[in-house]
Amino acid sequence: MRSLCALGIIAALGACGGGGGFPDANPIDSPPPTSTFTLDWSVNDAASQPIACDKIGAISVTVLAHNRAYEGGTTEVFTCASGRGQSQALPPGTYDFDFQLGSSGGMLATAPAQHGVERVAGQNTHLMPLTVTVDASAGLALTIATTVAGGNCAAQPGG
117-154 burial by CB neighbour count: b if 16+ within 10 A, else e? Answer: bebeeeeebebeebebbbebeeeeeeeeeeeeeeeeee
pLDDT at 149: 65
Which position has the higher pLDDT, 81 or 21? 81
Report the pLDDT averaged over residues 23-30.
74
Average pLDDT, the chain: 84
Mean pLDDT of 7-12: 54
**Interval 112-140: pLDDT, tens:** 999 999 999 999 999 999 999 998 776 55
Element (DSSP H or E) covering residue 53: helix 53-56
